Structure 1
């Protein structure tokens, strides 16, 4: 790959031709048995990677199917039959609760959340904080990304050991119902479609916190909401665990490649 990169840095159209490929020297084990063993190990690693990629797609497909069935109420937990109630978001949650910023905190900007997880944190003092650092997080608060909501880069704040402040690019939702149910309801395709209808902008559609709070959700009784939230939490945990395993397998293959072809 280093060889390809060097040859591809020419002016004009970058690339490498067949003749140049043919001039590259490969290190080949003399004994065919060693060649076979190396290829077998790497092929086995590739098969594990493909299998886990397939499992990941199946888990995501399962979650999508569950979302469709549960939020259309086509499928209910046994013992629950009462109709769901239509409620505005601002009736079942406190939107953007006001609170003074701590002297130091972890700052979460719009690019810091990915697939329901906080992946980046920036420690700041109050003096260093940008003006958009406004949402002081509490345990179980839901943060909804106002910009490009179809990305579903939303998160439940689950670690209150260090003071954390989110950007005003998120709507902070201090829910009165189960947080896991709430974030699942906010990411239901029908609700996201409603959000987009009330958003402004084409390339970067965005909704204000006030408009979001005025939108309606279908809400079941407390116990059913908790059961639904627990189900989606379990599926999400399986998805995250599979993605972690997939990353480990890719790192394993990279390590094998680096050490076998030295």
Structure 2
């Protein structure tokens, strides 16, 4: 708003591309400005206007202004004219058609950027009536709200899991009936340290089948390191860790029979120490032993010398069961999120052909 005594804007939010998450209405690190002169190349916007980042359009940074404010020179303010609903226009920006257009026209020497004339030249496909546009926009917004709520549930579950593990590690929380002191063990005393083998990606199937029933784990972070499926296996009920690269030191428990590639090393126990609880505890400290001289590495000899405090095997089983239940809930919620996102993507393309 404008202060009637000074004629200047007072306490307005400021939005720049850095405040907008890609492909999301979500805003982060918003700041308030009390004087419009503090913003170089400022553009005033009203609540409900669309703020669109002009730099690197492939990042898809656009949002709906939650309140009146000022934007930076790296954005455009889109104010829909009569005949088009704001939400309908907003979701038009999320279509593949618009995305491909902005990427194609923004390719130039230096930083990719879409200019005002190029943005104005884009031809919209508009539903014939404002009523239909509004219904489409509201439906897609409800879909977005469902996506946000599902993501929030995942974040909450991850936080609960992290907090639970911390309480377990500092022993401020114990399962009922377990009072024994935790014992310190050296990895080489309770595990046999080995490693995976080279496996060409061309030999790995994308889907599990009767011919390829065994999961293949590698160093990737997607899908908990699942690379695909293979006709043979190397180990069963063991712990893997990534030996080098950006994910060096990442520890995972691998139940049942599996194949591990050579970028993983493997911990095998005949005493029952290979379980979710031990893998989770080890994962909280393994990163401390990663060498960052050149390519990050956590090799077998270093891992073998790590020592850690562990509860008894029965308590490990109880903790493993609790963590696995949490992991399963997180996993199924992630699947739900992916399905909703896929539904939204499909709707966008079908509604804005």
Tell me which interval the TM-score lies in, with the shorter structure as reference length: 0.7 to 0.9
SS of the residue corresponding to residue 141 of structure 1 reads strand
Q: Which residue of 2 aligns with 1:88?
A: 186
**Offset at residue 149 of structure 1 (A):** 7.8
Say whether 1:20 aligns with 2:111.
no
* Residue from 303, 306, 311 that aligns with 1:220: 311
Kindly tell me: are residues 69 and 25 of structure 1, through their superposed partners in 2, closer, same or farther at Cα, counting changes over 3 Å? Answer: same
Q: Contact conserved, 2:241 with 2:265, CA < 8 A, in 1?
A: yes
CA distance 1:98–1:204, shift in 2 (3 Å) = closer
Helix, strand or coil at the partner of 1:78: coil
Aligned to 2:107: 9
For residue 138 of structure 1, the aligned residue among 231, 235, 255 is 235
Higher Cα radius of gyration: 2
How many residues are paired up? 239
Distance 2:195 2:105 in 1: 57
| TM score, norm. by length of structure 1 | 0.81
- Correspondence 1:236 to 2:327: yes
> 1:121 matched to which residue of 2?
228
- Among residues 45, 50, 75, which one is paired with 2:143 in the alignment? 45
Matched, 1:74 2:168: no
Which residues of structure 1 form unaligned runs of 5+?
126-135
Residue of structure 2 aligned with 1:181, choices 277, 292, 313: 277
CA distance in 1, matches of 2:320, 2:246: 20
- TM-score normalised by length of structure 2: 0.61
Distance apart, 1:174 and its partner CA? 0.7
Task: Spell out the pairing of 1:238-257 with structure 2 (5 A cutoff).
Answer: 238-257=329-348
Report which structure shows greater RCO (CA 8 Å, sep ≥6): 1
Q: Is the 8 A contact 1:115 1:152 kept in 2?
A: no
Are 1:62 and 2:182 an aligned pair? no
Which secondary structure does the structure 2 equivalent of 1:246 belong to?
Answer: helix
Unaligned 5+ runs, structure 2: 1-98, 205-214
